[in-house]
A and B are shown apart, each in its own frame.
Chain A
């Protein structure tokens, strides 16, 4: 009973903190933050980061890292823009080649980290230089554009408000049915009745907010749809596949996993391939949003992704993390960016504030049980 009470207090506390945060944001920006238009834009803005974070999470869970994320996204974007603008390819083949190039970049990282066994930090640091360098060589550091309207539509169109509302309702309905079914089927593996109610209640609140946002402005931005689909894909991978399960086991204890017959080489290689796939998709969405491939594209994106995952509770010592946490991390980070821009804070000062917030978030996290364990683990490994 004590445990449930504690749990409820924790949940209510988190909710209250979020509302307080929104209130503060709103006050700081003269009520501009909590408008339907701004929240829609925020989702659009968050999409590329979301795409990259949801695959980076897998790497962090297996105690690897990727510092070449931003560069990978940039080079993919350059590839796509060059093919369409300079070579005059049509959109679909260009997209296919871009994704292939992304996966190839992932394969390079995966080969050296997974198969050769070099430290991920060094390999991806080198890859960051190489990928971005290739991009600069190909473009002479110039912006490649403008992209055709047909292409920018990938990011810039909206699902009309009424259809958006229907989509939200359908998603909510499917979520409810799936949860009820697995509650009945899996029994105690699912959790208690309280857990079910909590999940459904949370989904209802999110759906109501979503309906309010999407019905009041242009609807769901296409970029957000893609990001949501990628996040969902990552969710399925982490929870429903052997690949995802193995990632968590490797993060928990590499040696035990090896002796239990899990091929660490393969799992690591595959997870970098998945990261590479996200370079491709991220590059396409970014290029569509900006209408071209600029030399600053994807700059420091990899560090934002690490920060978002960290805020979202992904353990830096491996073995723990969830995609839902990552979504929260991405949204919080983007909201902070958004608020600072609305407040006209200089971009230099923004960096200082963002760094401070990251530090603060991790410290705050230290006081929850889960991460106390995390830190202990980190110390033990030393």
Chain B
């Protein structure tokens, strides 16, 4: 290989948080015109490393050197890093929901004409960007009205139209559909051909393999391996990430589901803006005791809405009939669902799942406070025992039960939410994208926990967009498309291509 000069070199970067060394002695060279992927489990330090590069953490808060184009940089904040051409697209999108697409695209540098914002120009240029990304949007649309995937692409678009030398993408595809991923990848490759260095963080190994030139693996804050794409096969990446060989990702499948526990009939939710459109259309299914029933479908197929309707948590009008153990029930609120021993793990961990300024213990017991108290006075002994039991059973990695959830990695935070329903002794668990955005090791642990729960007679409705895990874990697979149940098949004999076809057919694929 010819000798090239690195755009960005980092030497010995180390960042400590109280009690944890998030990144230790990280050194890397990143070249222009190259897509460099960083993979690793949650808590491996990828995001922290990115934040150090992007100036989110001021330079004096960590040790080590960052050299950009031969110049040592000591960023005090994000703006300084942006001026030098390092732009990060964070995991949680920061868009101004009440403003229009165009206003968001041109944030901070509105075209000015005689002291006034030149809307004509702004809308025109926005339209170009939107068309370029293949989005069907109006520049005047308010951001709060568009889908999360489109928002993601907009944020990326916003970054790309800035002066950029190094683009840091943190889990950009977590919420994108395959089609949108393709658009994104085309854009990233375009940037590469312009000589820009892209650093790409993802949990999806297939994607990483598809797009990367270089792959770096991190574990527990250390860089444990860097190599060209050809020298890193998936097996090697996973074994580096986990620190051991993983052959058994999914638990062996020998459960025997029993009688029907939950039966839902004719769930229908209408779109509040378009009355003719049904978000969920006449969905009916049975859930058996000790069964893992997966609900597979693309984003927007109405799966989360169905789940929310079951627990009475949907904000809006729902028609729905439910039976628990053949007795009709009317579940009008998540609190009532809890009384009927139904627990729901929400899709969006940060916004709907954890109370991040509360401790691990408080997050675990928040749904079982009534069992842990006498006449609403808390029984602290009982609470402590419950929390410690859950932490042990789910092997949640935390220094103590009093640690705040905001200091934990995604996988461990997710286990707290799961543990909440184990503490509440729920008989029926609805897990909505439980493994999204968490590392391979935690994923495997969650599969094994699900298996154990099912064997103990709990029933699990597992909502997922990841076909491999659906194939790996389910007793039965329910496929949804456009708010309708397309098919329910047996998990063991299911055909991967058939399910994918059922979930996607009818949607426009280019």
Contact = CB atoms under 8 A, between A and B. Distances in A.
B367 A256 contact: no
A261 B358 contact: no
Highest count of chain B CB atoms <10 Å: which of A3, A243, A253: A253
Nearest to B18: A3
Contact of A186 (B373, B377, B380): B380
Given A241-B376, A319-B357, A259 B352 contact: yes
Contacts of B351: 253, 255-256
Contacts of A260: 334, 338, 366-367, 420
Contacts of B356: 252-253
A320 interface: yes
Contacts of A189: 380, 384, 401-402
Nearest to A369: B18
B369 A242 contact: yes
B335 A263 contact: yes
A186 B388 CA distance: 12
B334 A253 contact: no
B316 to A, nearest CB: 14
Contacts of B339: 261
B381 interface: yes
Contacts of B381: 185
Given A189-B401, A242-B373, A261-B367, A319 B384 contact: no
Interface string B37-49: 0000000000000
A261 B355 contact: no
A262 B384 contact: no
Contacts of A243: 376
Interface residues of A, number: 28
Contact of B369 (A246, A253, A377): A246
A262 B369 CA distance: 9
A38 interface: no
A214 interface: no
A189 B351 CA distance: 27
Nearest to A250: B355
B346 interface: yes
A202 to B, nearest CB: 21
B379 to A, nearest CB: 10
A240 B402 CA distance: 16
Interface in A171-221: 185-186, 188-189
Interface in A243-280: 243, 245-246, 248-249, 252-253, 255-263
B355 A245 contact: no
Nearest to B312: A261
A253 B380 contact: no
Highest count of chain A CB atoms <10 Å: which of B346, B358, B372, B378: B358
Contacts of B400: 188
Contact of B354 (A186, A246, A253, A263): A253
Interface in B312-353: 313, 333-335, 337-339, 344, 346, 351-353
B484 interface: no
A256 B347 CA distance: 11
Nearest to B420: A260
A377 B358 CA distance: 14
Contact of A245 (B18, B313, B362): B362
B335 A256 contact: no
Contacts of B334: 258-261
Contact of A242 (B370, B402, B424): B370
Nearest to B308: A259
A242 B352 contact: no
Contacts of A255: 351-352
B355 A257 contact: yes
Contacts of A186: 380, 384
Contacts of B366: 245-246, 249, 257, 260, 262
A242 B372 CA distance: 9
Interface string A285-320: 000000000000000000000000000000000011
Contacts of B377: 240-242
A262 B402 contact: no
A249 B335 contact: no
Given A242-B369, A249-B362, A256-B351, A261 B357 contact: no
B355 A262 contact: no
B362 A256 contact: no
A267 to B, nearest CB: 11
A61 to B, nearest CB: 11
B320 to A, nearest CB: 17
B378 A242 contact: yes
B422 to A, nearest CB: 13
B357 A252 contact: yes
A240 B377 CA distance: 6
Contacts of B335: 261-263
B303 to A, nearest CB: 15
Contacts of A249: 355, 358, 362, 366
Given A242-B377, A255-B352, A257-B366, 5 more contacts: A185-B381, A245-B362, A245-B378, A259-B344, A260-B367
Interface of A: 3, 185-186, 188-189, 240-243, 245-246, 248-249, 252-253, 255-263, 319-320, 373, 377
17 contacts: A186-B380, A186-B384, A189-B384, A189-B401, A242-B376, A252-B358, A253-B356, A256-B355, A260-B334, A260-B367, A261-B333, A261-B334, A261-B339, A261-B367, A262-B335, A263-B333, A377-B357
In order of increasing CB-CB distance, the 4 nearest A-B pairs are A261-B338, A252-B355, A242-B369, A253-B355
